[in-house]
Structure 1
């Protein structure tokens, strides 16, 4: 039986921490769907189309990884794609508390859906998209946080003043 997993997020932008979880998850599952949420309430820096394009480029070498955008309930998306596993990255206890609540809600909405929590590689444990944007906003070097292509895209959003 092939297990399909979904790694959902806003990915605004996709960081090396996200990419680490994607690469590790791709080894564990026959198919991994990176599902990028529209999430307008977060006021993303990049459009959904831009985030999908960047993630597709960053995961191009992983043949069993698909990248899609979505604007629906995650439990419904999982059902549509016959996914039975959600992958969630957790960096801290507060992340875990929040993610546990989401996992329980998703399981109520879709009883076939299990959530697996993955800790990031130690070198990325502090990293978030918010940190990347804040460093870039102040013209700091984000090259150790994102791929080169994503670095260029982020830097272009924050022209030097």
Structure 2
């Protein structure tokens, strides 16, 4: 019997508690969960692709069925390369549904053999986004506040990157 492989794609810049919650849940549903870190050359990420891989691997080290890889093409092509037939998507507030539905329909046109499974965000994480936590990290030096949104293990990396960026902005 072949393994049930699923792929969860996103930018994970950085990985949030919401992402991690979806990863934990999806890893219980499939034999292998590939976390696909998308590289969008038009965006200015906080972390490099390799740093994002390292951070996700750090917070999922206790999940032996999770693999982390980068991709820079269409998600359906990446899913196919992973020998998967399922794409996992996390849904936060209802405003995510329209965009995710549009993506699902486009992905079906590109590869009708790939199914999309939606996992609703836990209410504790429904409001958490990478952009929100970047704002909080920038405006507050309270690590306890930041720990409400990201795994504690990655807070030092966020603070270090924040300090590096602030140092380059100084005249």
Please report how far the alpha carbon of residue 93 of structure 1 lies from its aligned counterpart in structure 2 after TM superposition.
Answer: 2.2
CA distance in 1, matches of 2:102, 2:11: 18
The structure number with the bigger radius of gyration is 2
The answer to whether residue 100 in structure 2 is matched with residue 96 in structure 1 is no
Q: 1:71-90: per-residue Cα shift (whole Å, max 9, x none)?
A: 11111111111111111111
Q: How many residues align?
A: 161
Local SS of the residue matching 1:43: coil
TM-score if structure 2 supplies the norm length?
0.89
- In structure 1, the gaps of 5 or more residues are none
Q: 1:79-114: per-residue Cα shift (whole Å, max 9, x none)?
A: 111111111111122211001111111111111101
After TM superposition, where is structure 1 displaced by more than 4 Å over at least 4 residues in a row?
A: none
Partner of 1:132: 133
**Cα pair 1:139 1:158 within 8 Å, conserved:** no
TM-score if structure 1 supplies the norm length?
0.95
What RMSD in Å do the two structures reach over aligned CA positions?
1.4
**Cα pair 2:93 2:127 within 8 Å, conserved:** no
- In structure 2, the gaps of 5 or more residues are none
Following superposition of structure 1 onto structure 2, how do residues 40-119 of structure 1 map, counting pairs within 5 Å? 40-119=41-120
Please report how far the alpha carbon of residue 139 of structure 1 lies from its aligned counterpart in structure 2 after TM superposition.
Answer: 2.3
CA distance in 2, matches of 1:90, 1:42: 22
